[in-house]
């Protein structure tokens, strides 16, 4: 049986980890590398760093942060934000990242997914998807980009399928409606996409209790659950989350 993964997300702005609700009202929390080291030691399976203002500021991802992280943690980590080309992907991977997340760029230029998969292997290419409920679309969910600021005329399920065909090796699915609310993941779209693509789906947006992770990893069919608020606020450690997941019969890697 495949192990389910616990992934901690660190949104980075001005070299600080920050957290908001539905992409708004962010507060700064601490140094990303120090926080990453702590999560690595406390049982996280993977980490995700998002440079959340890089695209809006039209600059590349903070490669110095990527290098510092690579020197200080010993679990896989993904980076995203400010990736504008295959050359930027290469720079991030050479700086020590294991995977690169493509979001707005992939929507604007879908062929970059195929280019990245050919250059580095599809295991290095993650599709980052931000979605919002919209009954005007076939799946009832719409893709949005630019940190939730730009709605796209793109159905979430259609885009997920297309991205996997092009070369995405994993999908990180973030539901803006539940992001930071800590009331549970958006189960409907998570399950719909997970059941209709051939690659792992990471559920993101809404974790507040361990039961939320248990639900999305079982009923929601996700391969991994991404958390932020529930560990950033010290309500849970990664180890505590895993102990409770294991008690629910969910296969996880224990330290």
What whole-number distance in Å separates Cα of residue 210 and Cα of residue 213?
5
Is 11 assigned a catalytic role?
A: yes
Contacts of 250 (CB under 8 A, 6+ apart): 4, 214, 217, 218
SS3 content of the chain, % helix, strand, coil (to 5): 35, 30, 35
What whole-number distance in Å separates Cα of residue 164 and Cα of residue 146?
21
Tell me the DSSP string of 115-138: HHHHHH-GGGEEEEEEEEE-TTST
Nearest of 227, 213, 151, 223 to residue 3 by alpha carbon? 223
Q: Is-contact 228 19, C-beta < 8 A? A: yes
Q: How many CB atoms neighbour CB 223 within 10 A?
A: 17
Is 215 assigned a catalytic role?
A: no
Q: Which of 88, 130, 155, 179 is catalytic?
A: 130
Give the residue numbers marked as catalytic: 11, 130
């Amino acid at each position: 049986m495949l192990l389910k993964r616990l992934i901690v997300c660190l949104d980075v702005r001005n070299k600080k980890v920050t957290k908001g609700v539905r992409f708004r009202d962010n507060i700064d929390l601490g140094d990303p590398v120090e926080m990453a080291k702590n999560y690595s030691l406390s049982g996280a399976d993977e980490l995700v760093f998002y440079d959340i203002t890089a695209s809006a500021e039209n600059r590349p991802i903070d490669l110095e942060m990527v290098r510092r992280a690579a020197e200080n943690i010993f679990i896989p980590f993904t980076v995203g934000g400010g990736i504008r080309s295959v050359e930027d992907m290469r720079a991030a991977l050479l700086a020590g990242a294991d995977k690169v997340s493509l979001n707005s760029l992939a929507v604007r230029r879908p062929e970059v997914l195929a280019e990245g998969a050919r250059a580095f292997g599809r295991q290095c290419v993650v599709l980052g998807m931000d979605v919002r409920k919209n009954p005007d679309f076939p799946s009832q969910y719409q893709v949005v980009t630019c940190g939730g600021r730009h709605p796209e005329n793109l159905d979430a399920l259609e885009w997920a399928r297309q991205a996997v065909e092009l070369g995405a090796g994993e999908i990180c699915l973030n539901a803006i409606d539940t992001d930071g609310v800590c009331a549970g993941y958006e189960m409907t779209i998570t399950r719909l996409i997970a059941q209709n693509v051939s690659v792992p789906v990471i559920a993101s947006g809404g974790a507040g209790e361990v039961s939320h992770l248990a639900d999305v990893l079982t009923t929601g069919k996700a391969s991994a659950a991404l958390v932020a608020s529930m560990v950033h606020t010290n309500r849970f450690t990664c180890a505590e989350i895993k102990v409770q997941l294991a008690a629910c019969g969910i296969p996880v890697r224990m330290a």
